[in-house]
Amino acid sequence: MGLLIKNGNIITSQNEYIADILVEGEKIIAIAKDIDPEGHEVVDVTDKYVFPGGVDEHVHYNSFNSLGYETSHAALVGGTTTVGDFVVQPAGVGLRDSIINYKKEFLDGIATPDYVLHGIIMDPSEESVTDLVNMPSVGVSSVKLFMAYKGMPYYVSDEWIFKALCKGKEAGVTIMVHAENADIIDVLTKKLIAEGKTEPKYFGDSRPVLSEAEATSRAIYMARIADAPLFVVHVTNREAAEAIRAAYNDGLSVYGETCTHYMMLNDENLAKPNFEGAKYVCNPPLRPQSDVDFMWEAINKGWLTSVGSDHCAIMGGFTEGKVKGKNDFSKIPPGSPGVQERLYMLWTYGVETGRITRQKFVEVCCTTPAKVCGIYPQKGDIMIGSDADIVVFDPNYRGVISNKDSLSGSDYCTYEGYKQKGIAEKVFLRGKLVAENGKFVGELGKGKQVMSKPYAYCYEKFKEQR
């Protein structure tokens, strides 16, 4: 007996149509009108939208003092069936081995959504760079390097970024960068603290727009010299986005994402009284409203490819975690929860307001992230042969985002009080019902690694060279 999802208004990144979807095992095996229901479990979804399970290419579990996969079922409740997590590289551990160890310690039997993994070079060496060619053997085809965080294990100099770009290309591994100028940030942070400007509202001043734009441009030049693709994560502002757009228009394989909070929140949140602004400290920081508006334009026009949540639910939340920076904004743990609310924010404030179409919504929240991660068409689309990761979406639901409904494990919600239009009425992961109307109804710890294929989306312009 199969699962028959009947009479759905199916939305993909390309079109919209009414049809039935037949699932057997974990896969979609047929899409057509009026499929015979005999012998199948039938779910009638008349007047509901049906789209692929969300793919959130940018989350943090077990890094940056964040909560682990015990809270990952929050993604499923919000309609995201696959998350893309960044794996830290301990000192002295090879890049490939860090993936193997992380999976055994933090993922096996604990992760509830499916997941794709990105590496992080934190122990820069010739051995680490050489190890890039081994990443596809453990299902990883993207590795991130941090241009920010001077004096911390995450920081990597330009030398190693350039070497990684050159070596990664040999194996089809996409190099991702967190683009902020570490030296500028270091100088400005020390200056502000010395002046007694220690409150969260000064956090943005320590990491100005141009420090991000400069680092983005520098990374683009390195990619150009290396003749390699580049993916810039969590772009926040016009200057950085325009640098990416210009590079792409010049024929370079340069791409970038933005994140939900850079489309929903602005720098005024950092100035909230009674230390409330600490809830919104994330790297890079929130920007002025003009940049928020530009992020919507950049997503709508394809200048940025996708929207991640950059989910990072800090251990201890606001009351025990963020409070560590009470007298020094530089000690506030950066990061905010958001994996559960990502699709709702993009639908409510994007689709419902006319800023983006339903097709663009699926493109930037499901399909393109899957392509960037090298897991398309297994994930990110409603296609015959794809995993049966399916969201049945009720557009008529009306509610308000609240932490009381969150499964993130945090004591606060980044989008508390925001309106919510529409809800994931049913969420299927590989054909199994795992969430229903904001409640988790599946089995914890059943997530699987999706093996990422090399030469993914960012290598499209290199096809002729292969």
**pLDDT, tens only, 97-122:** 999 999 999 999 999 999 999 999 99
CA torsion sign, 214 to 215 to 216 to 217? positive
pLDDT at 464 over 60: no
How far separated are the first and last CA of the chain, in Å rounded? 43
pLDDT band per the 50, 70, 90 thresholds, residue 53 = very high
Residue located via tokens 């409603």: 382
At 1 the pLDDT is: 83
Q: What residues does CATH 3.20.20.140 cover in the chain?
A: 53-379+450-465
pLDDT at 219 over 90: yes
Q: What residue spans of 40-157 are helical by DSSP H?
A: 73-77, 95-102, 126-130
- 254-307 per-position pLDDT tens digit: 999 999 999 999 999 999 999 999 999 999 999 999 999 999 999 999 999 999
Contact 388, 28 (CB under 8 A): yes
pTM for the full predicted model: 0.97
Structure tokens at 262: 């850079």
d(CA 163, CA 392): 45
Helices (H) and strands (E) in the chain, counts: 13, 17
Q: What residues does CATH 2.30.40.10 cover in the chain?
A: 3-51+382-401+414-440
Helix axes 209-226, 158-171, angle to 10 degrees: 50
- Pick the closest to residue 88 from 99, 76, 72 (CA basis): 99
Tell me the sheet residues that pair with 32.
Answer: 20
Cα–Cα distances (Å) from 105 to 138, 147, 341, in that order, read 15, 28, 27
Contact 80, 428 (CB under 8 A): no
CA-based diameter of the chain, in Å?
74
At 465 the pLDDT is: 56
pLDDT band per the 50, 70, 90 thresholds, residue 462 = confident
Tell me the sheet residues that pair with 6.
Answer: 44
Classified as helix, coil or strand, 129 is: helix
ω into residue 285 within 30 of 0, thus cis?
Answer: no
- 3-33 per-position pLDDT tens digit: 999 999 999 999 999 999 999 999 999 999 9
d(CA 378, CA 114): 12
d(CA 292, CA 289): 5
Q: What is the mean pLDDT of residues 40-56?
A: 98
CATH fourth-level superfamily of 53-379+450-465 = Metal-dependent hydrolases (3.20.20.140)
At 303 the pLDDT is: 98
CATH fourth-level superfamily of 3-51+382-401+414-440 = Urease, subunit C, domain 1 (2.30.40.10)
Strand ranges, E, within 64-125: 80-87, 114-120
CB atoms within 10 A of CB 145: 24
At 64 the pLDDT is: 87
Cα–Cα distances (Å) from 69 to 22, 147, 362, in that order, read 31, 27, 25
